[in-house]
């Protein structure tokens, strides 16, 4: 396999840049371009030294060179990393020099792909590396690290081993029907299949939670005019985005922005106040607000706690019953006139959109609403779309196997479905993944990783 090289740090001006090289010619190339007390090829693994990168007798930079010897490296191959000053031109010149000496430019994700191919990582662990790089919050990072450490692979392998035991018990009986082999013991088969279904469903349930953390939550700010929706929008964003006036109906269009609230990204939509109006332009805004309410994943319903509940407020409460929602009783800094006893809902938060008081509790309420409660230190693994597809496929086959067994149909059908389920799980971990699946995954990595 060829020796590859790439700049592994962002290609921007900074304090340091790291150029990584991996492959059987790494030490030879390093010997040709590095001048220090010891030649890189003579250095022990996991050691580094100060020296200079020299091109045709001229020093390019003072660097720190680190050596990793196969198989005890990230890729499983001989690897050299060069830490230089963080100039873009300088890093590119060192990379150019490495390539002139026989290395090839690394495609996106090639280092991690080689780690997978050499058995250093499973496919799910490699995806954990990608998740670590793209994590935008504590929960995502904890999940990504658990994935990188192999927790998902261990869970999948545990399920797969139980499936293999079931299949092995059935296979001896079905493959050699003419031999003097006792009938397969199916006393606990139904219970065992049901247990596997439960375990796969548990893994599958984490997908929606992970999707929320990765992609954010489509959130509509809903309420009648002048209850403080735009003020709330501006408070959450930390700057003025929506126009705020004392005149009802100021917001006519949908104002959209994204903001991080705790561990969550809310894709906010500030909408027109919902009310009956004869103004044709405002009518369009109200229609858009209604559409946002229907299509949103979360509704922040705002009510003015300094006024009594209106018919429009009650209509809004009826509309949001079937949607995940949080009721924000705004203007808590004013005397309260709204009878909060009217609300039977548990998701109620008294806030002041003007001062931000009370909004510090919003992340916790969102976590509870989407069943993401508990400490972000808890290593719950949030599977991605590829993993979800494979677990779902395996789950469908195990359910079919259970149905066939319960129907009293020949155990041959149960064996076939169990084999298909097992194949789906082994493709998930990468043990039977196709080349197309592997290439598609690593193409999503950045160059140098």
CB 305 within 8 A of CB 336: yes
Rounded Cα distance, 223 and 309, in Å: 12
What pairing do the DSSP bridges indicate for beta strands 264-270 and 255-261?
antiparallel
Q: What share of residues in the chain are helix, strand, coil (percent, to 5)?
A: 45, 20, 35
CA dihedral 199, 204, 205, 211 (to 10 degrees): 160
CB 425 within 8 A of CB 196: no
Rounded Cα distance, 268 and 259, in Å: 7
Burial class (CB in 10 A: 0-12, 13-18, 19+), 143: buried
Q: What is the pLDDT of residues 15-32, one digit of tens each?
A: 999 999 999 999 999 999
Q: What is the pLDDT of residues 131-162, one digit of tens each?
A: 888 887 787 888 888 889 888 889 999 999 99
CB 438 within 8 A of CB 124: no
Rounded Cα distance, 298 and 370, in Å: 10
CB 18 within 8 A of CB 81: yes
What is the side-by-side strand order in the sheet with 4-7?
34-36, 47-55, 58-68, 79-85, 16-22, 4-7, 104-105
Q: Residue 104 gets which letter from DSSP?
A: E
Q: What percent of the chain lies above the pLDDT cut of 70? A: 86
Is the pLDDT confidence value at 254 over 90? no
Rounded Cα distance, 21 and 385, in Å: 32
- pLDDT for res 136: 77
3-class DSSP state of 66: strand
Under the banding of pLDDT at 50, 70 and 90, the label for residue 444 is confident
Closest CA to 379 of 131, 124, 145, 130: 145
Mean pLDDT over the full length of the chain: 84
- The number of helix segments (H) and strand segments (E) in the chain equals 15, 13
For 233-353, where are the E strands, in sequence order?
255-261, 264-270, 298-304, 325-330, 348-350
Under the banding of pLDDT at 50, 70 and 90, the label for residue 249 is very low
Q: What is the pLDDT of residues 113-130, one digit of tens each?
A: 999 999 998 888 998 888
Rounded Cα distance, 127 and 173, in Å: 39
CB 266 within 8 A of CB 219: yes
What pairing do the DSSP bridges indicate for beta strands 217-222 and 104-105?
unpaired
- H or E segment to which residue 111 belongs: helix 110-117
**pTM of the prediction?**
0.72
Q: Which residue has the tokens 């972000």?
A: 376
CB 99 within 8 A of CB 31: no
Higher pLDDT, 255 or 360: 360
Is the pLDDT confidence value at 281 over 70? no
Q: CA angle 105-108-114, nearest 5°?
A: 85
Report the DSSP beta bridge partners of residue 51. Answer: 36, 63
> For the ranges 86-90, 214-218, 325-329, which has the lowest average pLDDT?
214-218
Rounded Cα distance, 170 and 47, in Å: 53
CA dihedral 345, 350, 353, 359 (to 10 degrees): -90
């Amino acid at each position: 396999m060829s020796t590859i090289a790439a700049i592994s740090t962002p290609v921007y001006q900074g304090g340091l840049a790291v150029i990584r090289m991996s492959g059987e010619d790494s030490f030879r190339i390093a010997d040709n371009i590095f001048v220090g007390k010891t030649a890189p090829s003579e250095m022990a693994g996991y050691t580094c030294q100060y020296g200079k990168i020299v091109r045709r007798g001229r020093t390019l930079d003072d660097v720190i060179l680190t050596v990793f010897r196969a198989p005890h490296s990230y890729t499983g191959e001989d690897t050299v990393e060069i830490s230089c000053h963080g100039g873009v031109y300088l890093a590119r010149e060192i990379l150019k020099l490495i390539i002139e000496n026989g290395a090839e430019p690394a495609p996106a994700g090639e280092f991690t792909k080689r780690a997978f191919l050499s058995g250093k990582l499973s496919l799910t662990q490699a995806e954990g590396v990608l998740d670590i790089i793209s994590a935008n919050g504590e929960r995502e990072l904890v999940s990504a690290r658990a994935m990188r450490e192999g927790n998902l692979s261990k869970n999948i392998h545990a399920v797969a081993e139980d499936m293999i035991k079931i299949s092995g018990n059935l296979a001896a009986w079905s493959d050699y029907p003419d031999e003097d082999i006792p009938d397969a013991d199916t006393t606990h088969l139904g219970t065992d299949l049901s247990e596997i279904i439960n375990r796969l469903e548990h893994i599958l349930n984490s997908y929606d939670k992970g999707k929320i953390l990765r992609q954010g939550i489509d959130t509509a700010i809903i309420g009648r005019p002048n209850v403080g929706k735009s003020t709330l929008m501006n408070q959450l964003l930390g700057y003025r985005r929506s126009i705020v006036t004392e005149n009802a109906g100021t917001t006519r269009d949908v104002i959209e922005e994204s903001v991080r609230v705790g561990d969550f990204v809310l894709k906010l939509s500030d909408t027109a106040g919902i009310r009956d109006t004869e103004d044709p332009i405002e009518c369009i805004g109200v229609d858009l607000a209604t559409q946002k309410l229907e299509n949103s994943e979360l509704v922040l319903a705002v009510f003015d706690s300094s006024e009594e509940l209106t018919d429009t407020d009650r209509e809004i409460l009826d509309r949001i019953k079937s949607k995940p929602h949080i009721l924000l009783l705004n203007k808590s800094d004013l005397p309260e006139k709204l009878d909060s006893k009217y609300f039977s809902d548990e998701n109620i938060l008294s806030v002041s959109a003007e001062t931000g008081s009370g909004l510090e509790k919003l992340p916790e309420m969102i976590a509870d609403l989407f069943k993401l409660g508990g400490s972000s230190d808890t290593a719950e693994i949030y599977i991605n779309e590829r993993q979800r597809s494979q677990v779902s496929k395996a789950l469908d086959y195990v359910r079919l196997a259970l149905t066939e067994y319960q129907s009293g149909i020949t155990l041959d059908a149960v064996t076939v479905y169990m084999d298909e389920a097992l194949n789906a799980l082994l493709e998930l971990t990468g043990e039977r993944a196709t080349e197309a699946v592997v290439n598609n995954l690593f193409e999503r990595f950045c160059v140098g990783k």
